[in-house]
Structure formats: structure tokens, C-alpha cells
Amino acid sequence: MVTSAHEGMHRIFQERPEILTPVFELLGLDLPDKAAAYAVTTDATETRPLVRHVDTVLRISPSDGDDFLLAIEAQERRDAKKESSWAYYVAYLQSRYGLPVLLLVVCRDRATAKWAAGPFDSEARGWTAQRTRPLVIGPDNLPTITDARTAAEKPAMAAFSALAHADSPGSDAILEALGRALAEMDPIAARYFGQFLDAALGATPAGDKWRNIVTFVNFFPGRGTVIEKAYLDGVAEGEAKGEAKGEAKGVLAILDVRGISVSEDTRERITGCTDRNRVEGWLQQARTAERAEDLFADGFEESPESS
């Protein structure tokens, strides 16, 4: 089952690609700050009976060299099936796009991270036909960010650190530093990271800790809490409708990145909805739906007043 933490561990690379350069530095690889990153389809299905999806795939365009693809997999536990799946992803993406491919596995568990480093060989009779060597980021090589100033300067890395160390003893210190750092950010960034960690940490002790922190952290002294500010900014119905339209564009963007076609009727149905809760539901469904029309199935059908 895909968990909130699983989604957060790879989605942050899509939504905050500025963490790519520091992550590459931790792995001993060079990537210039000016590298551009573009999300590409994560569907690696060749035949209909066998469906495969990479968690995140980015096309990296460094300022000092040629483009390459970065396939990112969030791994919660050891899974022997991944040894062949990862080899398939690398070979498939290289064949489809004609670009070299790097595989990055992000883990929260030390034992899983150690296993994920491989290498994984396809061999017989003493001959290795293919070797897969993932890059791995986990608790052992991702530093804990417990200084509020550093967290304010590098909030995406601090959030990633909080996710990777969510089950570690130092988790509380990271969350507290990031909570204090919210006061140094602009309201939009603070709201993003507050909500991102709320969703990614989910119903876990770390998630409870984070929600307790953001309830009491101020954007500015005497101006209310993060949660208060976020909701007061959008309390007017017109603003809420505006946010729904913005998130509707996000639904379409996710479907486009995943290579799912959207009919004109479906597009109008999505962009025309002003019910923010409904659109947020579609935003989650869009990450796993096989067809755009699946968004309207079951409990995700919009109410009459929302259209």
C-alpha cells in the first residue's frame, strides 16, 4: 500500500527540485545549482497485462553538461521484486528517451537503505549481463537539520530531512527547527511546507508532533499562528474558489505528466469546479488514476453546487 510518507519522499523532488544539488553533493556527485529539472511520465508499461510505474522521473538539464534522467524510488522496506523492477526501469527509460539514467532510492529505514544500495546483478554461469547500482539517500547519509536558521535558508532540505528521519530519535529536533523557521519564510512557502509535512507524515507520532508545532508557531510576532494565517488568508469565498481553480490546474498537470489523456469535457469539468475540498480529492486521485474519468468515480463525484 502506498503511504503518505512514501509519496512525500519522492514528490518533494518534483515540487522542490532545489534539493537535487545538495542531495547529489551528499552522494559525492557534482550537479550545478543552475540545473533545470522537468518531470516526465512515470509510466513504464510495455504491455497492458503488466503495469509498472516509477515513483518520480525527472529530466535533468545541467548547465555544464548533457541531459540525463533521474528515476526516484521511495522504498519503505526490503522487496526482492525491486531488484528486477529497478533494472527494468533503467533499461526502459534509457531505451525510450535515449538518455543515460541514474536511479535514486530514498529510504527512512537504515536496513532498507543498506540493502537498496545493491549492486543487483543479472548473471548466470559466472557471467554478469546487467548490473544495477542505485544511488541511495537515507538516515545514515542525510544530515539532520536542527538549526532554525539553516532550516529557513534550506526549507526543502529540512523538510526532506524531517521525512527521512521521521522514525529516528532526532526527529523532534528537526521538526522544531523547521517550525521556528516558518517565521522566517514568506507566507506562501510557510503554508506549503506546513501542509506538505502534515500530509506526508500523516497519522504518525512525527505527524502529531508537527501539527502540534505549527499550531503555535507564528509567522510574525502577534500576527497569529500558521494555521490561523493560512485559513484567514483563504476564508473569503472568492479566494477559496480561486485556490480551487489553481489546484485544478495541478490536477491536469499531474495527469499530463503521467501521460493520461484528458478529453475537453473532462478538462472543463475539472477547471470549472470551485469546491476546494472536491478538487483536493481529485489532486490525490490523479496520482494513481488510470483514466482521467476515474476521478469522478465513487466518492469523488462533485456535488451539484460545486460545478
Each residue's pLDDT tens digit, 235-278: 344 444 555 666 777 788 777 766 788 888 888 888 888 887 88
Helix (H) or strand (E) holding 38: strand 36-39
pLDDT tops 70 at residue 208 = yes
Which of 118, 137, 156 is a domain's end point?
137
Based on the fold, state whether residues 58 and 127 are members of the same structural domain: yes
Q: Give the least confident one: 47-51, 81-85, 169-173, 273-277.
A: 47-51
Q: Is beta strand 135-137 parallel, antiparallel or unpaired with respect to 101-107? A: parallel
Based on the fold, state whether residues 95 and 172 are members of the same structural domain: no
Please check whether residue 143 lies inside any domain of the structure. no
Rounded to 10 deg, the angle between the 205-216 and 187-201 helix axes is: 160
Q: What CATH number has the domain bearing residue 32?
A: 3.40.1350
Please check whether residue 254 lies inside any domain of the structure. yes
Based on the fold, state whether residues 115 and 21 are members of the same structural domain: yes
Report yes or no: 250 and 282 within 8 Å, Cβ to Cβ.
Answer: no
Alpha carbon 48 to chain centroid, angstroms: 26
Please check whether residue 94 lies inside any domain of the structure. yes
Please check whether residue 212 lies inside any domain of the structure. yes
Cell of residue 272, nine digits: 470549472
The SS3 call for residue 118 is: coil
Based on the fold, state whether residues 102 and 48 are members of the same structural domain: yes
Q: Give the least confident one: 82-96, 140-154, 191-205, 234-248.
A: 234-248
User: Closest Cα partner for 56 from 27, 31, 28, 23?
Assistant: 23
- In whole angstroms, what is the distance from residue 47 CA to residue 175 CA? 44
pLDDT tops 60 at residue 45 = no
Based on the fold, state whether residues 11 and 129 are members of the same structural domain: yes
Q: Of 206-210, 211-215, 274-278, which has the strongest mean pLDDT?
A: 206-210
Residue 141 or 65, more confident: 141
Burial code (b: 16+ CB inside 10 Å, e: under 16) for 120-153 equals beeeeeeeeeeebebbbbbbeebebbbebebbbe
Q: Using 50, 70 and 90 to split pLDDT, how confident is the model at 291?
A: confident
Give every CB contact of residue 168 below 8 A, 6+ residues apart in sequence. Answer: 139, 144
Arithmetic mean of pLDDT, 175-193: 84
Single pTM value for the model: 0.62
Please check whether residue 103 lies inside any domain of the structure. yes
Based on the fold, state whether residues 213 and 301 are members of the same structural domain: no
Report yes or no: 68 and 101 within 8 Å, Cβ to Cβ.
Answer: yes
Q: Which residue has the cell 532498507?
A: 112
Based on the fold, state whether residues 96 and 111 are members of the same structural domain: yes
Please check whether residue 253 lies inside any domain of the structure. yes
Based on the fold, state whether residues 99 and 199 are members of the same structural domain: no
Based on the fold, state whether residues 299 and 242 are members of the same structural domain: yes
DSSP3 helix / strand / coil % (the chain, rounded to 5): 50, 15, 35
Domain span holding position 37: 4-137
* Peptide bond just before 155 cis, omega within 30 deg: no
Rounded to 10 deg, the angle between the 187-201 and 171-181 helix axes is: 160
Q: Give the least confident one: 116-125, 218-227, 246-255.
A: 218-227
The SS3 call for residue 122 is: strand
Give me the number of domains the chain comprises: 3
Based on the fold, state whether residues 133 and 152 are members of the same structural domain: no
Q: Give the least confident one: 103-112, 114-123, 145-154, 220-229.
A: 220-229
Which of 209, 233, 257 is a domain's end point?
233
Please check whether residue 290 lies inside any domain of the structure. yes
Which of 233, 248, 276 is a domain's end point?
233
Based on the fold, state whether residues 12 and 128 are members of the same structural domain: yes
Please check whether residue 13 lies inside any domain of the structure. yes
- In whole angstroms, what is the distance from residue 32 CA to residue 15 CA? 18
Q: For residue 293, give the DSSP letter.
A: G
Based on the fold, state whether residues 63 and 77 are members of the same structural domain: yes
